[in-house]
Every structure is written in structure tokens, then in C-alpha cells.
A and B are shown apart, each in its own frame.
Chain A
């Protein structure tokens, strides 16, 4: 093991490993409201985010993914102000060891290429995410 990966192992946040089915798990999508996307566009972007987050969780923490599936794979959608805002939320989540996945659009329709459209957080416990996204409005 190299020095860097050794240090990383010591300092990286521990992913959730013992997840019980009684836990309230959810995945949260924060949509960049600044972009004024249509409903269909938002839905496609959120679907991108859901797939990406699910695959990422399957690699990093299969037990958590499994528990989330078994508890009805709760998902919610909230509004974010701007790309900058989404970036900040992503950093906060990562510090707490919550999976964060960003979606950038290819820009074929409606918005410029490379726009930061959706941030997916989780799946994670309700109480862990509450601090970060608790005051965001539902979309």
C-alpha cells in the first residue's frame, strides 16, 4: 500500500456498513432551479442521477443499496439555487461520508452543454442528510 492510500484509509469517512431495515433511508435529488428546465427535461436529468447514484452505491456500499431497495427506495426532489449552491451541498455531503453524484448535461436540448443540472445525494439516513438539505423546498 502506498503512503497516500494509507493516509486516505485513515482519514476517509467511513461509509455506512451496518444498515438495518428499520432505518429511514432516502435518496435526494437537488435540481438546479436557475436553469429553468421543462418538467420532462428535469425528469430525464433526475433519472440520470438516480441511475448514476445507484450504480455508485452498488460499488461502494452494496449493503446500503440493498437496504434502500428493501425499504421502498424512497426518493425526493428539492430545489437548489444555482450550480454553485449544488457544488457546496455536494462538498458538505462528502465531508459526512454521504455519496454525492453530479450530473452535467450534454446540452442537446434546452440548456448549454456542460450545465450542472442535478446533484444526487445518498442513499443515506434521514437524520444524516437533514442538516444539509433540511431547509430546501420541495420541487
Chain B
């Protein structure tokens, strides 16, 4: 399959060490999705269009802790991909300002696979 025929992907890097409940995690990812999409619309509008025309593929990946999350934030910034780092207001479950999820993309699937090849899906 050529790179172009692969659907663009949005990825959520979720901190596994926080042990968030399913609902809390889902809401954090929803925040990240909207945040990253807003940015991508400004800088990568054609990618957004292609993402929406295909399946709007999304995937949840697990990172170990905050340090790991910041490491991948560095990679993502270096690659100039649209992204959104979510800091929680801390009303429930975690302390205020806790960095919970990094949303990345939409970006080409092969770019994501390359950047995040060592990460496992969050389950």
C-alpha cells in the first residue's frame, strides 16, 4: 500500500501511570481531539480534509509517565505536527495542572507509525 492510500490518523498518548477511569480518560481524549483538530485546521487543512473524508482514524497509545509524555511532545514538535497537550483542571481524580493526554494529528499514518513505533495501544 502506498503512503497516500493510507488513512491519516490522530493519536492520543495517554499516561498509563495515572490510572484514570474510562470516563475520565475518554473526556481527556475528547479535549485533545478538538484541540489538535483546531490547530490542524489552521496549519494542515488538506490533511484534515483527507482525514475527515476517510475514516477519521483515531488511536489511543499508552505512555509510561509524564517524562515519557514530554519526550514524545518533543518529537512531535520537531516533526511540526499539529498537537494539543491537555492539562487537567484537577477537579476530579488528579491534581490541578496534571498533564494527562497528548493529542497528535491528523497526520499520515506512516509518520505516526514511525514516531510512535515503540508504544503499545492503551487498553
Contacts and interface: CB of A to CB of B under 8 A. Distances in A.
Contacts of B25: 39-40, 42-43
Contacts of A46: 26-27, 29-30
Contacts, number: 90
Nearest to B30: A50
Contacts of B31: 50, 73, 75
Contact of B59 (A44, A50, A138): A44
Given A43-B26, A75-B27, A51 B34 contact: yes
Nearest to A76: B27
Interface string B10-36: 101010000011111111111111100
A54 B38 CA distance: 11
A48 B33 CA distance: 8
B21 A44 contact: no
Interface in A35-91: 38-51, 54, 72-73, 75-78
Interface in B49-108: 55-56, 58-62, 89
Contacts of B14: 40, 43
Contacts of A41: 60, 123
B26 A31 contact: yes
Nearest to B60: A40
A48 B58 contact: yes
Contact of A47 (B23, B29, B62): B29
Nearest to B103: A47
A28 to B, nearest CB: 10
A93 to B, nearest CB: 18
Given A43-B14, A43-B29, A44-B12, A54 B23 contact: no
A29 B27 CA distance: 9
Nearest to A44: B58
A77 B34 contact: no
Contacts of A75: 27, 30-31
Interface in A3-42: 29, 31, 38-42
A111 interface: no
Contacts of A54: 34
Given A42-B25, A43-B26, 12 more contacts: A38-B122, A39-B20, A39-B25, A40-B14, A40-B60, A40-B62, A40-B122, A43-B12, A43-B28, A46-B30, A47-B12, A75-B27
Interface of B: 10, 12, 14, 20-34, 37, 55-56, 58-62, 89, 121-123
